[in-house]
Amino acid sequence: MDGAADPPTIEPSFRHLRGERSLTSIDLRDALAQSHRQAFAWAVRCCQGDQGEAEDVLHTAYCKVLDGKARFEGRSSFTTWFFGVVRRTAQEQARWRWLRVARLERWWQDASVDGKGEDEVEADADDRVAGLQAALPRLSPRQQEVLHLVFYQGLTIQESAEVLGLPVGTARTHYERGKARLRHLLLDEELS
Domain boundaries, the chain: 15-95, 109-191
CB 82 within 8 A of CB 67: no
Give 26 or 182, the one with higher predicted confidence: 182
**Fold observed for domain 15-95:** Rna Polymerase Sigma Factor; Chain: A (1.10.1740)
The pLDDT > 90 percentage for the chain reads 15
Question: Which range (11-20, 45-54, 92-101, 126-135) has the least confidence?
Answer: 11-20
Instruction: Quote the CA–CA distance of 160 and 135 in Å, as a whole number.
Output: 21
In sequence order, the 6+-apart residues with CB closer than 8 A to the CB of 87 are 42, 46
Sign of the torsion angle spanned by Cα atoms 95, 49, 153, 31: positive
Instruction: Quote the CA–CA distance of 74 and 21 in Å, as a whole number.
Output: 5
Average pLDDT over the chain, rounded to an integer = 77
CATH architecture of 109-191: Orthogonal Bundle (1.10)
CB 164 within 8 A of CB 170: no
pLDDT digits (tens, 9 = 90+) for 3-50: 444 433 333 444 444 444 455 667 778 888 888 888 898 898 888 888
Instruction: Quote the CA–CA distance of 66 and 83 in Å, as a whole number.
Output: 15
pLDDT at residue number 144: 86
Q: Is 45 left (phi over 0), alpha (psi -120 to 50) or beta?
A: alpha
